[in-house]
Chain A
């Protein structure tokens, strides 16, 4: 009742009752039509052909039958790429946070020493964040060659972008009191940062880092597709060799790693909170 009357005010409340109801119905129809048009153009653009799903069912069944049972005999040889995947994520997260923290201090209004540095840091963080990690990986593969190092660098840069922004927000939200108090004792700028800001934001810093690690593990699985090492690279190789039993093994490993990382990260985050 209440929302109806609100709608009436918004949509032709100046009209008499009968016309008002008709006006409402008209607006509903127009909205529905609009949504239908948007959906239709999306289906055309993505070339959606539902019938292909039905005719393709054989292909899928074939694929499935060829991928069971998973090829567990190759499991030991996949452990190294799995470790690579994890280490790419760990490298990217740790170096990401080491770079992001000082940048965040420059990019937070209350701790930035000069406007130039503030805007510079903000811009740098924005660039790191807005270029997807997969694109960074492609760039680094070109620069340092195929292999996990390219992936690790890509995740580092992307993490700086993601964590830098979050940390800057945390720093901007913190209580300025301890910083003022330290400034009044004659402490230097860096000392104020390391003795007042860092201890205060530490819990947020930990939880942002753990969350990022979880995200980075998922990204690092995909990075292999552009040649940046790890399980993704094995997956790409196995698929191009039509070795579907290895593919299914790798997917199981991926599943275990992703779920494990998610669980571990959330358990640790609850601890630091």
Chain B
């Protein structure tokens, strides 16, 4: 019998059992197919969920920029001013003397509410959870005690004070928000 005739003979047609190597080859192929299908499913669904996760998770951090605040000599004279960043955030910028300056965020470090300056008590107060901060932004009472208001980076160049702040804002309808121009005012006027 030629080789061609041997291979073309259908398996089991003669009633003889399959050879052991035929069975093990079939098992190997079956296992390999299962693994390939499993790996393909894991890879395709994995890719899908990875892409979905990347889609859901925000892409970039908040954008910041260095912006001009005031001339240092003006700030030294005023003592402190309220600065409104393009994002809308209110920032207290104060002269500490000897060329040192401080820029305090109005966002409470406890849970993110807006603090406001109480001139009569010389303190910042957070109405959400009764947080109190002194004039330097140090938490003195309530849950944020021991924490401090966020300090924004400042730099002085040629007698001009610059601040690094977020530049994106939440565009809310129906609110007459002040623009970036004319956003400075003395804290004592607040």
Whether A and B are associated in the same complex: the answer reads no
Residues of A within 8 A of B (CB): none
What residues make up the interface of B, taking CB atoms closer than 8 Å to A?
A: none
